[in-house]
Structure 1
Amino acid sequence: MATTRATHEAKTPCKKCPLRGLPHFREFAADELEFVEVFKTGELAIDAGSTILVEGSHSAHLFTVLTGWGFRYKMLEDGRRQILNYVLPGDLIGLQGTVMGEMQHSVEALSPITLCVFERNKLMTLYNKHASLAFDLTWIAAREERILDEHLLSIGRRSALERAAYLLAYLYQRASALKLFNGRSFLPITQQHIADTLGLSIVHTNKTLKKLASRGFIRWQERGCDVLDGQALAGLAEWEGLGEGKRPFI
């Protein structure tokens, strides 16, 4: 399970949430913000590589990513891993376990990550009294389905080179919208993460990334890569991009 440090005493007030200042997210109405401040019970700081939620587990909480990167995944009994998607600031974690009773996948921290913590037993109050926030949860779930559709298309029909280009373009666009880059477009993922996302061997992944690097699209680093031309990556994958305006978060 996760190596966590409770930071309830250093709780970020929702009114001063750093995500609210990003044009990527819609603004809260006054009553919505007041409810979310009560809904939130604290924060958790989690170390990179720690497991946040485990498949089959029950949790009394759900979480919003405040800072950092993570990923959702499933494991086979022999240890083979399939990464399903990546979670970034503003993404909700644990809704599946809240609604269905237990998690159908696991979640791991890719970098040091801070989570806003919400009590599961207050979720019905959100549905009963805040229809706009309830719609936001529906929107978030529908968006995740749309992203997984694109990931499935990539694994099923794109070539290895196109798959890698799509994944890096997708992460690049998401991180850009959240203003996560500081002077360089660095994605903190290893070649093993890419292999486990694309369903390729590590050897095939390495050869594929070298081809992208030779075209000047990326520059591979020890524990991640610099995206040099995100538009060219999207073009190679024939991917039209995220194509979303302002999005909600809880």
Structure 2
Amino acid sequence: MTAVEKRNGELIAARTRCEHCPLRQREHFRDFDPDELDFVSQFKTGELTADAGASILVEGAHSAHLFTVLAGWAFRYKILEDGRRQILNFVMPGDLIGLQGSLMGEMQHSVEALTAVTLCVFERGRLRTLFEKYPDLAYDLTWIAAREERILDEHLLSIGRRSALERAGYLLAFLNRRARACGLVEHGKILPISQQHLADTLGLSLVHTNKTLRKLADRKLLHWRERGCEVLDEDGLCELAGWVDPVTRGRPFI
């Protein structure tokens, strides 16, 4: 049983039917054919909600479920014995979590809700059916895993070789671009991250992060608000970081 299940109780029946999934309405995601949609609808066993700050999966835990984020933000992280935390990546609608634990027996990182999150829940035991009968969906899982590897490659490059200013510029441009594709920064919404979250992702102290963000704000690239960050010039951040985002259309999700 995951931390979310312990905190929120039994799985609830799916409130969002797969055929009416809001993610299918966004051009960023590829659509299912009728047979795939029927399988995914049966694969989904229910939904879970998690409040901001709730642990969704914990390092070392075993879970009988996989999750796709339907709404909200979360983040993957590892933590050292002395409490130092490294945020590995942020999770947004359409992202799959728990695959590592399903295939390797236990989670090697933890996942925490950054905002209130709604998760579609899938039974791990039905993964074999997906691979046996739905090769396109199986390929989608491979694509998702390869994409996560590519993202982590870029994050590692940033931490290892970019300056603090370049690191922050890259991360904020990356998050804003992903959030736009998912509809998370529309209608005046901002990136719901704290400076501590950024510091733990960038591998910088909180003081250094604060100074770096002020430099970006002075260049009119972002505006820091009480509850997060508004990116004012995404292209400017990309140019500063020397980052070109590969164009992705028809991104798969389960």
Say which of 136, 141, 153 aligns to 2:140: 136
Counterparts in 2 of 1:1-250, with a 5 A limit?
A: 1-2=3-4, 3-4=7-8, 8-184=12-188, 186-250=190-254
CA distance in 2, matches of 1:199, 1:35: 42
5+ residue gaps, structure 2, are none
Q: Deviations over 1:22-65 (max 9, x none)?
A: 00011101100000000000000100011000000000000000
5+ residue gaps, structure 1, are none
CA distance in 2, matches of 1:78, 1:130: 45
- 8 Å CA contact retained: 2:56, 2:111: yes
CA distance in 2, matches of 1:161, 1:4: 40
- 8 Å CA contact retained: 2:176, 2:185: no
- 8 Å CA contact retained: 1:59, 1:97: yes
TM-superposed CA distance for 1:7, in Å, is 6.2
CA distance in 1, matches of 2:171, 2:230: 13
Structure 1 residues 170 and 12, CA gap change in structure 2 (3 angstroms): same
Determine helix, strand or coil for the equivalent of 2:90: strand
- 8 Å CA contact retained: 1:185, 1:227: no
User: Paired residues, what number?
Assistant: 250
TM-superposed CA distance for 1:9, in Å, is 3.5
Moved over 2 A (4+): 1-11, 182-185
CA distance in 2, matches of 1:222, 1:142: 35
CA RMSD of aligned residues (A): 1.1
TM-superposed CA distance for 1:11, in Å, is 2.2
TM-superposed CA distance for 1:243, in Å, is 2.1
Letter in structure 1 aligned against 2:143:
W
Letter in structure 2 aligned against 1:60:
A
Determine helix, strand or coil for the equivalent of 2:170: helix
Q: TM-score with structure 2 length normalisation?
A: 0.96
- 8 Å CA contact retained: 1:14, 1:37: yes
